[in-house]
Protein backbone atom coordinates (compact mmCIF):
# COMPACT_ATOMS: atom_id res chain seq x y z
CA UNK A 1 0.00 0.00 0.00
CA UNK A 2 2.86 2.37 0.76
CA UNK A 3 4.12 1.97 -2.81
CA UNK A 4 0.69 3.04 -4.13
CA UNK A 5 0.73 6.10 -1.86
CA UNK A 6 4.25 7.03 -3.02
CA UNK A 7 3.27 6.61 -6.67
CA UNK A 8 0.21 8.84 -6.20
CA UNK A 9 2.38 11.47 -4.53
CA UNK A 10 4.75 11.44 -7.52
CA UNK A 11 1.92 11.67 -10.04
CA UNK A 12 -0.05 14.36 -8.23
CA UNK A 13 2.99 16.38 -7.07
CA UNK A 14 0.84 19.10 -5.49
CA UNK A 15 3.02 21.93 -4.25
CA UNK A 16 2.56 23.28 -0.75
CA UNK A 17 1.10 20.10 0.71
CA UNK A 18 2.95 17.96 3.20
CA UNK A 19 3.03 14.21 2.84
CA UNK A 20 0.99 12.27 5.34
CA UNK A 21 3.50 10.38 7.48
CA UNK A 22 0.93 8.35 9.40
CA UNK A 23 0.68 4.70 8.55
CA UNK A 24 -2.59 3.12 7.55
CA UNK A 25 -4.70 2.18 10.53
CA UNK A 26 -7.62 -0.18 10.85
CA UNK A 27 -9.98 2.80 11.06
CA UNK A 28 -8.67 4.02 7.69
CA UNK A 29 -9.49 0.69 6.06
CA UNK A 30 -12.92 0.65 7.74
CA UNK A 31 -13.69 4.15 6.49
CA UNK A 32 -12.82 3.06 2.95
CA UNK A 33 -15.06 0.01 3.29
CA UNK A 34 -17.93 2.21 4.55
CA UNK A 35 -17.60 4.32 1.42
CA UNK A 36 -18.74 1.37 -0.69
CA UNK A 37 -21.62 0.34 1.61
CA UNK A 38 -24.49 2.43 0.13
CA UNK A 39 -23.99 1.04 -3.37
CA UNK A 40 -23.48 -2.52 -2.20
CA UNK A 41 -26.47 -2.37 0.15
CA UNK A 42 -28.60 -0.87 -2.64
CA UNK A 43 -27.77 -3.73 -5.00
CA UNK A 44 -28.08 -6.42 -2.32
CA UNK A 45 -31.45 -5.04 -1.22
CA UNK A 46 -32.78 -5.06 -4.77
CA UNK A 47 -31.62 -8.64 -5.24
CA UNK A 48 -33.19 -9.77 -1.96
CA UNK A 49 -36.47 -7.94 -2.64
CA UNK A 50 -36.97 -9.23 -6.17
CA UNK A 51 -38.76 -12.37 -4.99
CA UNK A 52 -40.65 -10.90 -2.06
CA UNK A 53 -41.82 -7.47 -3.21
CA UNK A 54 -43.76 -7.09 -6.49
CA UNK A 55 -42.39 -3.58 -7.08
CA UNK A 56 -38.94 -5.09 -7.63
CA UNK A 57 -39.81 -7.98 -9.95
CA UNK A 58 -38.00 -6.16 -12.78
CA UNK A 59 -34.65 -7.15 -11.23
CA UNK A 60 -34.97 -10.55 -12.96
CA UNK A 61 -34.86 -9.03 -16.46
CA UNK A 62 -32.24 -6.41 -17.33
CA UNK A 63 -34.36 -5.07 -20.20
CA UNK A 64 -37.03 -4.07 -17.63
CA UNK A 65 -34.63 -2.00 -15.50
CA UNK A 66 -35.99 1.54 -15.11
CA UNK A 67 -33.84 4.44 -16.25
CA UNK A 68 -33.65 5.57 -12.62
CA UNK A 69 -31.70 2.44 -11.72
CA UNK A 70 -29.05 3.29 -14.30
CA UNK A 71 -29.06 6.97 -13.28
CA UNK A 72 -28.58 6.15 -9.60
CA UNK A 73 -25.81 3.73 -10.58
CA UNK A 74 -23.96 6.26 -12.74
CA UNK A 75 -24.26 9.09 -10.20
CA UNK A 76 -23.32 6.70 -7.40
CA UNK A 77 -20.18 5.64 -9.27
CA UNK A 78 -19.15 9.30 -9.67
CA UNK A 79 -19.73 9.89 -5.95
CA UNK A 80 -17.83 6.74 -4.97
CA UNK A 81 -14.88 7.64 -7.19
CA UNK A 82 -14.80 11.11 -5.64
CA UNK A 83 -14.95 9.65 -2.13
CA UNK A 84 -12.30 7.01 -2.82
CA UNK A 85 -10.10 9.65 -4.44
CA UNK A 86 -10.49 11.91 -1.40
CA UNK A 87 -9.70 8.98 0.91
CA UNK A 88 -6.54 8.24 -1.08
CA UNK A 89 -5.65 11.94 -1.22
CA UNK A 90 -5.71 12.12 2.58
CA UNK A 91 -3.57 9.01 2.87
CA UNK A 92 -0.96 10.63 0.61
CA UNK A 93 -1.24 14.23 1.79
CA UNK A 94 -2.58 16.27 4.68
CA UNK A 95 -4.61 14.41 7.26
CA UNK A 96 -7.72 15.94 8.71
CA UNK A 97 -7.73 17.26 12.27
CA UNK A 98 -9.94 15.90 15.06
CA UNK A 99 -12.63 18.59 14.66
CA UNK A 100 -12.90 17.99 10.93
CA UNK A 101 -12.93 14.24 11.48
CA UNK A 102 -15.78 14.66 13.97
CA UNK A 103 -17.63 16.80 11.41
CA UNK A 104 -17.19 14.03 8.81
CA UNK A 105 -18.57 11.43 11.21
CA UNK A 106 -21.65 13.53 11.95
CA UNK A 107 -22.35 14.04 8.23
CA UNK A 108 -21.80 10.35 7.49
CA UNK A 109 -24.11 9.33 10.32
CA UNK A 110 -26.81 11.69 9.10
CA UNK A 111 -26.33 10.32 5.58
CA UNK A 112 -26.84 6.82 6.99
CA UNK A 113 -30.18 7.94 8.45
CA UNK A 114 -31.18 9.35 5.04
CA UNK A 115 -30.24 6.03 3.41
CA UNK A 116 -32.32 4.05 5.91
CA UNK A 117 -35.34 6.33 5.44
CA UNK A 118 -34.94 6.08 1.66
CA UNK A 119 -34.90 2.30 1.98
CA UNK A 120 -38.08 2.28 4.04
CA UNK A 121 -39.82 4.63 1.59
CA UNK A 122 -38.73 2.42 -1.32
CA UNK A 123 -40.53 -0.62 0.06
CA UNK A 124 -43.54 1.17 1.58
CA UNK A 125 -46.97 0.71 0.05
CA UNK A 126 -47.49 4.46 0.47
CA UNK A 127 -44.04 6.05 0.13
CA UNK A 128 -45.43 9.59 0.43
CA UNK A 129 -45.67 9.01 4.18
CA UNK A 130 -41.88 8.92 4.23
CA UNK A 131 -41.39 12.09 2.20
CA UNK A 132 -41.21 14.54 5.12
CA UNK A 133 -38.83 12.42 7.25
CA UNK A 134 -36.55 11.90 4.23
CA UNK A 135 -36.47 15.63 3.48
CA UNK A 136 -35.82 16.59 7.12
CA UNK A 137 -32.98 14.05 7.40
CA UNK A 138 -31.58 15.28 4.09
CA UNK A 139 -31.64 18.90 5.27
CA UNK A 140 -29.74 17.93 8.43
CA UNK A 141 -27.19 16.04 6.34
CA UNK A 142 -26.75 18.92 3.88
CA UNK A 143 -26.31 21.35 6.77
CA UNK A 144 -23.57 19.15 8.24
CA UNK A 145 -21.85 18.83 4.85
CA UNK A 146 -21.99 22.61 4.33
CA UNK A 147 -20.55 23.18 7.80
CA UNK A 148 -17.69 20.83 6.99
CA UNK A 149 -17.01 22.51 3.66
CA UNK A 150 -17.15 26.10 4.99
CA UNK A 151 -15.49 25.53 8.36
CA UNK A 152 -12.61 23.35 7.22
CA UNK A 153 -12.25 23.04 3.44
CA UNK A 154 -12.62 26.61 2.22
CA UNK A 155 -9.22 27.70 3.50
CA UNK A 156 -7.23 24.51 3.15
CA UNK A 157 -8.28 22.63 0.05
CA UNK A 158 -6.46 22.82 -3.25
CA UNK A 159 -8.38 22.61 -6.58
CA UNK A 160 -7.77 18.86 -6.99
CA UNK A 161 -9.25 18.05 -3.58
CA UNK A 162 -12.18 20.38 -4.25
CA UNK A 163 -12.92 18.45 -7.47
CA UNK A 164 -12.99 15.21 -5.49
CA UNK A 165 -15.39 16.77 -2.96
CA UNK A 166 -17.65 18.01 -5.75
CA UNK A 167 -17.73 14.56 -7.32
CA UNK A 168 -18.74 13.08 -3.98
CA UNK A 169 -21.36 15.68 -3.07
CA UNK A 170 -22.91 16.23 -6.49
CA UNK A 171 -22.83 12.53 -7.38
CA UNK A 172 -24.71 11.68 -4.19
CA UNK A 173 -27.06 14.64 -4.68
CA UNK A 174 -27.93 13.59 -8.22
CA UNK A 175 -28.44 9.97 -7.14
CA UNK A 176 -30.79 11.22 -4.41
CA UNK A 177 -32.80 13.35 -6.86
CA UNK A 178 -33.14 10.42 -9.27
CA UNK A 179 -34.28 8.21 -6.39
CA UNK A 180 -36.84 10.89 -5.40
CA UNK A 181 -38.22 10.82 -8.95
CA UNK A 182 -38.29 7.02 -8.95
CA UNK A 183 -40.14 6.61 -5.65
CA UNK A 184 -42.32 9.70 -5.46
CA UNK A 185 -42.98 10.74 -9.06
CA UNK A 186 -42.67 7.68 -11.32
CA UNK A 187 -44.63 5.51 -8.88
CA UNK A 188 -47.49 8.06 -8.75
CA UNK A 189 -47.54 8.37 -12.55
CA UNK A 190 -47.42 4.58 -12.94
CA UNK A 191 -50.24 4.11 -10.40
CA UNK A 192 -52.47 6.63 -12.19
CA UNK A 193 -52.18 4.88 -15.57
Tell me the pLDDT tens digit for each residue of 8-40.
Answer: 877 887 777 778 877 778 888 888 888 899 899
Instruction: Say what the pLDDT of residue 130 is.
Output: 95
pLDDT at site 157: 83
Nearest to 86 by CA among 175, 153, 174: 153
Mapped onto helix, strand or coil, the DSSP state of residue 64 is helix
- How many whole angstroms from its chain centre is CA 18? 27
Which residues have C-beta within 8 Å of that of residue 188, sequence separation ≥ 6? none
> What does DSSP assign to residue 151?
I
Q: What is the pLDDT of residue 188?
A: 65
Query: pLDDT over 90 for what percent of the chain?
Result: 51
Low-confidence ranges of the chain (pLDDT < 70): 187-193
Amino acid sequence: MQKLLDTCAEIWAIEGLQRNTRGLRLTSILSLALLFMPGLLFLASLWLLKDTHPRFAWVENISDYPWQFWGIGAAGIVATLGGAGDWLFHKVYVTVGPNEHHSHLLALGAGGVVFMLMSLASIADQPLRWLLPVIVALLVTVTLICYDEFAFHVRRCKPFENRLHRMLVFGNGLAFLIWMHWVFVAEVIHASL
